């Protein structure tokens, strides 16, 4: 059982709640873990995070109950190899469009003959060579979550979900709405209808499916829709809204020099 499967073990009674980690700060990352989040996404896609910063954030999370998920910037086997060698055990792969791309993502996480991950004897993943039999057992310990972010991808959800090695699906509402020609309209009826259809089909296949929302209210609606795991906002989003709320309380909500962060922003 890999770390993500452990996270999902009790999802039926208590859906895991996570958050996005975009600050590139190990201290903030550790604090979010201590706050009680079940899982956290170290986001390499939409941040300037480099590989060493990913390592530092994984180290920071190791002392907290928060399970780490690393979102790689793209479905690229070299980046996936490096992130795994850095010690990540669950990956979120963006913009997976079909079963072939899902198979490529899984293959990049597996050592031969099951996949194409390059072998390194000395890495953080193997505790610098001290984990006996790491290469022989690693394939069973890596979690793969694939992200569906277009109507076309959700249309192919069934074939993607049935790819061996795909542990879960994740609907990205921001890109989904944008690629449907409705940028920023996450609650548009067409977006919500397609999202609900994706949830229904994933559940019929017994495949866990998750998403992210910017506020508790939005996340509650996603849970009511049937999502198995959810994330709320990000470290930066929560920081900005808290900071702006404190300033508004002191200066007055109409103060012109405070630009409110969008409630839909993560």
Closest CA to 19 of 38, 3, 2: 38
- Are the C-beta atoms of residues 46 and 236 closer than 8 Å to each other? no
Q: Which of 73, 72, 143 is nearest to 109 (CA)?
A: 143
Q: Are strands 229-234 and 209-213 parallel, antiparallel or unpaired?
A: parallel
DSSP letter at 138? G
Q: Which of 10, 46, 56, 188 is catalytic?
A: 46
Nearest partner of 21 among 53, 144, 218, 10, judged by Cα? 53
Pairwise CA distance, residues 205 & 197, whole Å: 13
Sign, Cα dihedral of 186, 23, 68, 89: positive
Q: Does residue 56 carry a catalytic annotation?
A: no
Q: Where are the alpha helices (DSSP H) in the chain?
A: 3-8, 26-35, 51-61, 77-85, 99-109, 134-137, 151-155, 157-161, 173-179, 189-205, 216-225, 235-251
Cα 245 from chain centre: 27
Residue 81, token pair as written in the block = 């190899």
Angle formed by the axes of helices 51-61 and 26-35, nearest 10°: 30
With contact defined as beta carbons under 8 Å apart, do 219 and 4 qualify?
A: no
- Residues taking part in catalysis: 46
């Amino acid at each position: 059982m890999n770390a993500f499967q452990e996270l999902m073990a009790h999802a039926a009674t208590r859906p895991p709640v996570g958050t996005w980690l975009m600050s590139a700060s190990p201290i903030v990352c550790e604090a979010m873990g201590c706050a009680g989040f079940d899982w956290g996404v170290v986001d390499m896609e939409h941040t300037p995070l480099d590989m060493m910063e990913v390592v530092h954030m994984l180290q920071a999370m190791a002392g907290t109950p928060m399970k780490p998920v690393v979102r790689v910037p793209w479905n690229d086997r070299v980046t996936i190899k490096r992130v795994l060698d850095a010690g990540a055990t669950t990956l979120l792969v963006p913009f997976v469009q079909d079963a072939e791309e899902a198979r490529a993502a899984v293959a990049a996480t597996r050592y031969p003959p099951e996949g194409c991950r390059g072998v390194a004897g000395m890495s953080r993943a193997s505790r610098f060579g001290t984990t006996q039999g790491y290469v022989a057992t690693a394939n069973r310990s890596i979690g793969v979550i694939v992200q569906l972010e277009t109507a076309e991808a959700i249309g192919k959800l069934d074939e993607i979900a049935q790819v061996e090695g795909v542990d879960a699906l994740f609907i990205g509402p921001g890109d989904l709405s944008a690629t449907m020609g409705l940028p920023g309209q996450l609650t548009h009826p067409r977006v919500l209808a397609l999202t609900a259809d994706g949830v229904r089909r994933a559940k019929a296949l017994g495949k866990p499916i998750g998403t992210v929302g910017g506020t508790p209210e939005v996340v509650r609606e996603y849970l009511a829709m049937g999502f198995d795991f959810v994330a709320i906002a990000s470290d930066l989003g929560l920081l900005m809204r808290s900071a702006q709320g404190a300033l508004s309380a002191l200066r007055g909500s109409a103060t012109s020099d405070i630009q409110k962060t969008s409630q839909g922003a993560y």
